[in-house]
Amino acid sequence: MLPDGYADVPPRKLAAVVTHLQMSVPPEPRPVPAVAAELVAHATPDPAWYRALFTRVGRDWLWFSRLGMADAALTAILHDPRVEVFSLRQAGRDLGLLELDFRVAGECELAYFGLAAEMRGQGAGRWLMAQALARAWSAPIGRFHVHTCTLDSPAALDFYIRSGFTPYRRQVEVADDPRLSGQLPREAAPQVPIL
């Protein structure tokens, strides 16, 4: 438990407030815009391809958790038949990432969900979320959950709530700044100062 007040964050570290959200029944369907893109399933994605898409989608928000993983560890997750990886493809380019994790019985985690900068603001997020909801709830689950943090897009938390998720838990995450380790370029996420 953190005490009230300020807590110093060591140099070369990042701190984020993480909000966990969940739903226990499928939400009412929302209008979904038409999107000139397709959802492509990747049953056994190559780790290099995955990291490139993960970076394309997440560099503005300092996504780093999969970048430092060894190929064998990442492949073990991505090739697990209970993990589903999809890309949002437009004109032959993968510009969105959807990863659903069913490894806990009766649950699905929206492990990763995001769009590259050129896809944002076009309704593609709502379209991709509709795909995520349909796929998650087509399985025998009683819980669909996700987490987001203060490093993510400022619109993310509200988007998840509008999509039917309810916040239920908050944590603080402290981690090495991935721009200082070389996992992400120093110019990534300029809204977050490097200290």
Q: What is the CATH number of the domain that holds 62?
A: 3.40.630.30
Structural domain of residue 89, as residue ranges?
A: 13-25+36-176
Q: What is the pLDDT of residue 1?
A: 80
The answer to the question of residue 80 being in a domain is yes
Residue 184 lies in a domain: no
Mean pLDDT score, 159-174: 98
Whether the per-residue pLDDT at 122 is higher than 90: the answer is no
Helix (H) or strand (E) holding 41: strand 38-41
d(CA 33, CA 127): 6
| Distances from the Cα of 72 to the Cα of 41, 59, 75, 87, 137, angstroms | 21, 23, 5, 21, 30
Q: Domain for residue 57, yes or no?
A: yes
Number of domains in the chain: 1
Tokens of 155: 């619109």
pLDDT at 168: 99
Asked, for residue 20, whether it belongs to a domain, the answer is yes
pLDDT of residue 187: 97
Model confidence at 188: pLDDT above 90: yes
Rounded CA separation 180/195 (Å): 9
Name which residue leads in pLDDT, 36 or 86.
Answer: 86
Q: How far apart are CA 129 and CA 192, in angstroms?
A: 27
Q: What is the pTM of this model?
A: 0.95
- The chain-wide mean pLDDT, for the chain, equals 96
For residue 60, give the DSSP letter.
G
Q: Is the pLDDT of residue 121 over 90?
A: no
Band of the pLDDT at 69, cuts 50, 70, 90?
very high
Binning the chain into helix, strand and coil, the percentages to the nearest 5 are 25, 30, 45
